[in-house]
Amino acid sequence: MEYCAGCHGTDGKGGDKAASLAMTLSVMTRSDSELEQIVREGTMEGMPPFSQIGDANIHAIVGYLHAMEGSSASASAGAVVVTGDVHAGRSLYFGKARCAACHRINGDGGFIASDLTAFSQTHTADGILQAITKPDNPVAGTSRVATLTTIHGTRLTGVLRYEDDFSLALQTEDGRYHLLSKNELTAVAYSGHSLMPRDYADQLSSRELNDLVSFLIVAGRSSGIDSTPPH
């Protein structure tokens, strides 16, 4: 504690110089060896290396981080029980399952689909699983995919952010908003779906899906808007 409190606060919940450790996703979803490496070698972001305190101390510090995580996680756990491997879920999210290509979570990921940080705060584990395996039920008004044909014959496919009788905004995968008047279009064809892949139930094993759900639950817990006055 004496080594860390200067920056991360005496309760691990953050200080003026560095982040909260107690509830941080990067702590909860990293393996012991990764965390030990961070303490030993420091980070590019400014965390200094602490190899000088010795491996035994480093090991003890990582144990303490998990103890804080346990106490804070159980305090806010509520009804949802985490049964999968959060760390494996995180790897899937940012790796093979490609969720991060579209969805941001705790600051990381894409922009074409919604931010999933807080999704688990309003959904049960089963609800999250359904959202992943049986998507588009129903398709949200701002997530509809459409293909436009312009009066010049150009075709554009993207996400319809709004549409009325006069104009629309179609966002393509490069992030660009095509802000068009209906006069410039000859056709608007709806795919009937969002961009969310519809085959995750086949592509991922039930264990992998459970790991992903667990990751989303923990990510939601570790987030939280600080809406208190400066202290």
Partner 1 sequence: MPDAAPQSAPSPAGPLESPGLIDVKQGDLLQSPVSDNWVSYNGDYTGRRYSALAQITPQNVGRLSARWVFHPRTVSPLEVTPVVVAGVMFVTSANDAYAIDASTGKLLWHHARPLTHGLVDDAAVHHNRGIAVLGTRVYMETDNAHLLCLDARSGGLIWDVPYAHGNRNYGATSAPLIVKDTVLVGTSGGDDGVRGFLAAYDAQTGREKWRFWTIPAPGEKGSDSWPMDMYLHGGGTTWMPGTYDPSLNTLYWGTGNPSPDYDGSMRPGDDLYTSCLLALDPDTGTLKWYFQFTPHNLYDYDAVETPVLVDANFRGKVRKLIVTANRNGFLYVLDRVTGQFLVAKQFAQQQTWAKSIDANGRPVPSGLVPDEKGVEICPAEGGATNWYSPSYDPRTHRFYFRSLDACAVFQSKTEPFQEGRNWYATGARATGEGGQGYINAFDLDTLTFAWRNAQIGPYKGWGGLMSTATGLVAYGDDAENFVILDGHTGKPLWHFGVGQMIHASPMSYAIGGKQYFAIAAGSDIFAFALP
Per-residue binding string, ligand HEC, 90-119, x by CB under 6 A, is -------xxx-xxx---------xx-x--x
Query: Could you say which of partner 1, ligand HEC, none residue 182 binds, taking C-beta under 5 to 8 angstroms by partner kind?
Result: none
**Considering the complex, what minimum distance in angstroms separates the CB of residue 67 from partner 1?**
25
Regarding 10 and contact with partner 1 (CB under 8 A), the answer is: no
Could you tell me the two tokens for 218?
């923990």
Shortest Å distance, C-beta 70 to partner 1: 25
Cis peptide leading into 138, omega within 30 of 0?
yes
In the stretch 167-196, what mask flags binding to ligand HEC with x, by CB under 6 A?
Answer: ---------------------------xxx
Q: Which position among 75, 179, 187, 201 is part of the footprint of partner 1 (CB under 8 A)?
A: 179
130 part of the interface to partner 1, by CB under 8 A: no
Of the pair 46, 138, the CB lying nearest partner 1 is at 46
Q: Closest residue to ligand HEC, Cβ-based? A: 99
Residue 12, interface with partner 1 (CB under 8 A)? no
Binding status of residue 137 toward partner 1 by CB under 8 A: no
**Does 219 engage in binding with ligand HEC (CB under 6 A)?**
no
46 binds partner 1 (CB under 8 A): yes
Q: Alpha helices, DSSP H only, in the chain?
A: 5-8, 25-28, 32-41, 55-76, 86-94, 99-102, 125-133, 200-203, 206-222
- At residue 178, what is the residue type? H
Q: Kind and range of the H or E element at 108?
A: strand 108-109
**What gap in Å lies between CA 35 and CA 37, rounded to an integer?**
5
**How many other CB atoms sit within 10 Å of the CB of residue 186?**
11
Cα separation, 15 vs 9, whole angstroms: 4
- What is the signed CA dihedral for 62, 63, 68, 72, rounded to 10 degrees? 100
Out of partner 1, ligand HEC, none, what residue 154 binds, judged by CB under 5 to 8 A for its kind, is partner 1
